Every structure is written in structure tokens, then in C-alpha cells.
């Protein structure tokens, strides 16, 4: 890169998996329990058409706790992506147990920092959508706009100070598409 040249900074929508893109499974790897949130696939396709990177950021402590393996976690992702009709531009997961967590585990921003480095993402142009206070805190700490969805655990976390609250990922995507930053 020559002097004066700058990397293109991309805008991204960071997405939690369980309770946000799919129904909460409570530490299960049973593929018959994988159910994408209705309309999520079409909403993600709309975000892609509008130029947004889709980056899944998910805590998966069930791996450290022995509830499922990395391979089973990946099989759940594959089934979810099949139901959505597409995958993500990037996926970051943290298998750590909450008692032994590093900054990679949400609400830490480690996974977001990795995504920023790997995909030249500008946090101030990006969003974080999730169903828990840890998702909102992670996004806010990084400097993203945040949306709490009321699916999954969202109804229990409405007091976590998100920028917006949406019924589900479909409504959240509409907020992203309608908000100019």
C-alpha cells in the first residue's frame, strides 16, 4: 500500500446465532431442532443485496461443557444455512466456558476484533443484532449500533440499552436497511 492509500472499510451486520437467526436450542446439537426464524433467509439476502457483510458471532460454551463437539456445532450451522438459503460471509465462535472466558467470549469484543482485522470492517458503520444483554454490550463496546430482537431470550433482556428493539431478525433487518449512518 502506498502513502495516501487506505483500505476500504466494510460495513457489517454482526449476528448472534441461537435465539436470533434460529430458535433457541438450549445446548442441543439435534439437527431436527434447528429451526431458522421465519423470514430470516429473505432478510439476510436483502442485507447482502444492500452491500452488508453478514458475520455470525456466537458463544458456544456447550463445546467446553461437553454437550456437543465442534463437528456437531458445525453440523447445526450447516443445517441453519441450508434453511436460510445461504451462509455467512464469516463465522466466529467461542467455545469457552463462562468461568474460563477470555475477551473472545461475548460480551468481550475479541471475535469482533478478529472480524474487523480479517474483513476490514468499520465498527462505526456496523450493527450487532442479538437476543441477549451480552450481544448488546459486545456491540456497544465495539462502537456498533445495536438491535435487541425479542426472539430467544430477548424479552428477558429489554433493559440492556440497545439502540433499537425489534420483534425479530426480519424487523431488525428493516431497521438496518432504513437507517442511514
| Helical ranges in the chain per DSSP H | 40-49, 70-84, 110-119, 133-142, 169-178
Contact 144, 10 (CB under 8 A): no
Alpha carbons 106 and 124: distance in angstroms, whole number: 18
DSSP-assigned letter for residue 96: -
| Helical ranges in 85-126 per DSSP H | 110-119
Alpha carbons 99 and 25: distance in angstroms, whole number: 21
Indicate which residues carry an active-site annotation: 16, 18
- Extract the C-alpha cell encoding 144: 456498533
Amino acid at each position: 500500500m502506498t502513502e495516501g492509500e487506505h483500505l476500504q472499510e466494510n460495513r457489517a451486520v454482526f449476528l448472534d446465532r441461537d435465539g436470533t437467526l434460529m430458535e433457541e436450542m438450549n445446548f442441543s446439537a439435534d439437527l431436527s431442532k434447528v429451526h431458522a426464524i421465519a423470514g430470516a433467509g429473505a432478510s439476510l439476502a436483502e442485507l447482502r443485496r444492500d452491500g452488508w457483510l453478514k458475520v455470525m458471532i456466537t458463544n458456544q460454551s456447550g463445546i467446553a461443557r461437553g454437550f456437543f463437539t465442534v463437528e456437531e456445532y458445525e453440523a447445526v450451522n450447516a443445517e441453519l444455512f441450508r434453511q436460510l438459503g445461504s451462509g455467512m460471509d464469516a463465522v466466529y465462535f467461542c467455545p469457552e466456558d463462562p468461568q474460563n472466558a477470555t475477551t473472545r467470549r461475548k460480551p468481550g469484543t475479541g471475535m469482533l476484533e478478529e472480524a474487523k482485522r480479517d474483513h476490514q470492517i468499520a465498527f462505526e458503520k456496523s450493527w450487532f443484532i442479538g437476543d441477549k444483554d451480552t450481544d448488546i454490550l459486545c456491540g456497544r463496546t465495539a462502537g456498533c449500533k445495536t438491535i435487541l430482537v425479542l426472539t430467544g431470550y430477548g424479552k428477558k433482556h429489554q433493559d440492556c440499552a440497545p439502540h433499537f428493539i425489534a420483534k425479530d431478525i426480519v424487523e431488525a433487518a428493516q431497521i438496518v436497511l432504513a437507517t442511514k449512518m
